[in-house]
């Protein structure tokens, strides 16, 4: 039916990864357990080292395992955070004093650190999006279950938010969107642009990323009902910690 048929039998490294994954998900291998090493996999399956490494890389990329330098690969059970695009940003979330993040972290330990709030001259791209040369910038890191999972940098046009709690480390109940509402410029429309790339060294360090883990980058712009841009938020996410979900109608 095709000139270039694609083989469907999964390659050996993937079958090995499937087996290890099944042992993790069944509970036979637990959080913190050491996985069979490259040598053990080579001997057990009569495969090359590169193949064994590929099998382990599958689990590392899926966020089910983490390599520790010089000591092997360990099970790391961390249920990915389901980040729900539209629902989490709906008015019913931030209209009632709940933070956006709540929707993502039910039942999980959640923290923010490295909060930094500064007034800055906007870079070229930020100035173009926000139509403003001076911006208030909020930088912070999010952790879930003690693991750093996201770096976020939000930019606000200075002339719109000057004097509000958006310029303070603690923005109060409902967070920055509630404060934008107080100012009479609540967000009505959001655009999110999603990309993926490898992290820079600073991102790797702050997110404690194992080698070979990409990041997802979400650039979110919030607009008022009149189309005025009121926030640009650049988020850098550990790709092994997140599933982004977007729902929409035909």
Please report, as ranges, the residues that interact with a copy of itself according to CB under 8 A. Answer: 1-2, 4-6, 8, 11, 13-14, 54, 57-58, 61-62, 85-86, 89-91, 94, 113-118, 120, 139, 169, 186-198, 200-202, 206, 212, 214-216, 239-240, 242-250
- Least gap, CB of 213 to a copy of itself (angstroms): 8
- Least gap, CB of 106 to a copy of itself (angstroms): 18
d(CA 7, CA 46): 22
- Least gap, CB of 75 to a copy of itself (angstroms): 18
Beta strands in 40-109 (DSSP E): 65-68, 72-75, 81-84
**Cβ atoms within 10 Å of 5's Cβ, excluding its own:** 7
- Least gap, CB of 179 to a copy of itself (angstroms): 14
What does the longest C-alpha to C-alpha distance in the chain come to? Answer: 67
List the structure tokens of 223: 């607009």
List the structure tokens of 208: 């404690």
| Nearest to a copy of itself of 8, 106 (CB atom) | 8
- Least gap, CB of 145 to a copy of itself (angstroms): 19
Phi, psi at 53, each rounded to 5°: -65, -40
**Which residues are CB-contacts of 95 (< 8 A; sequence separation ≥ 6)?**
174, 178, 181
- Least gap, CB of 207 to a copy of itself (angstroms): 13
d(CA 72, CA 3): 43
Task: Give whole-number Cα distances, 194 to 5, 157, 239, 246, in Å.
Answer: 32, 23, 12, 11
List the structure tokens of 181: 């509402």
Beta bridge partners of 72: 68
d(CA 32, CA 13): 22
């Amino acid at each position: 039916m095709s000139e270039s048929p694609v083989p469907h039998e999964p390659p050996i490294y993937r079958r090995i990864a499937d087996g290890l994954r099944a042992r993790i998900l069944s509970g036979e291998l637990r959080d913190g357990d050491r996985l069979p090493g490259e040598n053990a996999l080579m001997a057990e399956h009569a495969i090359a080292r590169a193949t064994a490494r590929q099998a382990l890389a599958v689990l590392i990329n899926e966020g089910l395992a983490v390599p520790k330098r010089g000591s092997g690969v360990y099970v790391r059970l961390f249920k990915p955070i389901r980040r729900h695009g539209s629902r989490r940003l709906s008015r019913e979330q931030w209209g009632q004093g709940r933070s956006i993040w709540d929707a993502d972290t039910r039942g999980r330990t959640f923290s923010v650190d490295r909060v930094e709030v500064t007034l800055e001259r906007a870079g070229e791209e930020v100035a173009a999006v926000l139509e403003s040369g001076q911006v208030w910038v909020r930088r912070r890191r999010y952790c879930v279950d003690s693991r750093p999972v996201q770096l976020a940098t939000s930019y606000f046009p200075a002339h719109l938010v000057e004097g509000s709690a958006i310029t303070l480390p603690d923005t109060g109940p409902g967070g920055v969107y509630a404060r934008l509402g107080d100012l009479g410029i609540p967000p009505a429309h959001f655009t999110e642009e999603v990309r993926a790339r490898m992290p820079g060294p600073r991102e790797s360090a702050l997110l404690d990323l194992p080698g070979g883990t990409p990041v997802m980058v979400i650039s979110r712009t919030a607009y008022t009902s009149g189309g005025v841009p009121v926030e640009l938020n650049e988020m850098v996410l550990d790709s092994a910690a997140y599933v982004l979900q977007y729902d929409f109608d035909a």
